[in-house]
Amino acid sequence: MSSNQIALKNLVSMEHLTNEEVMALIKRGIEFKNGAKVHYDEQHIVANLFFESSTRTHKAFEVAELKLGCDLLDFDVKTSSVNKGETLYDTILTMSALGVDVCVIRHPEVDYYKELIESPTITTSIVNGGDGSGQHPSQSLLDLMTIYQEFGHFDGLKVAIAGDLDHSRVAKSNMQILKRLGAELFFAGPDEWRSAEFADYGKFVTIDEVIDQVDVMMFLRVQHERHDYNSIFSKENYHKLHGLTQERYDRMKDNAILMHPAPVNRDVEIADHLVEAPKSRIVEQMTNGVFVRMAIIEAVLKGRN
């Protein structure tokens, strides 16, 4: 058994993980990427319940579960009793009663998981696939895996997170754990999209102030679906002021990397032709997402035993 195999009852927030657990999940993800296999004698049933649109997270969990040999229980929000007014609690209560081992859930309500993991009746394990603008632990872990593969450490790294900060669960998950692991953080983007909480974790800057200093330049998607615009949004103006242009890309350090949780609004956060540029690790992030999610599911299944 690998020393990086850990046991977790649920995985809902980066705040609930110790630094040791985070590093074990990253390293186990790397082991899976390098070809590690796991064999279960018993049947494990997993349901993926996505109440918000998703390609990368949803399908990466599915691929991870299939690679682990899990049985996937089909769940389609459009044809479920949610359309009859069934609450999330009662949906998960049903899954638990049916014998589902793990429910991976994405839901628009922040902290939706609290009543689920506190319930004495619900016995299925919960993995948070994203809660509103709250947390996105699996995305954070795949980001950390990508950074760790590149640099081999976090302590002392300079990381800039730029864009739609307030609406980004990725930004919030990453800033908490990266600061804990010793990285130096910078935040950039429109003033109206960043709240005071970010000041507790790093320094507010403009992209042009730090683009040539940071080791990791992480852009965030402009989340149009979470905005109530008072004026017409101009993607050209946003890109010019806050996005990665060719000129800014050229100023990045030779060994610096470009990251984005995707989907990328091309020519908004990042110039279209730079999404797959040599310094970009965006495709690598997606690949790593499968393997770190294998580590997550394995840890939660182990926690059930």
Binding-site residue positions for carbamoyl phosphate: 56-57, 106, 136, 139, 262-263
What DSSP line would sit under 54-118, residue for residue?
-SHHHHHHHHHHHHTTPEEEP--GGGSGGGGT--HHHHHHHHHHHT-SEEEEEESSTTTTHHHHH
* Total length of the chain: 305
Annotated binding site: 56-57, 84, 106, 136, 139, 169, 221, 262-263
DSSP secondary structure code for residue 216 in this structure: E
Annotated binding site for L-aspartate: 84, 169, 221
Structure tokens at 56: 């990368």
Structure tokens at 198: 């970010």
Secondary structure of 181-207 as H, E, C letters? CCCEEEEECCHHHCCHHHHHCCEECCH
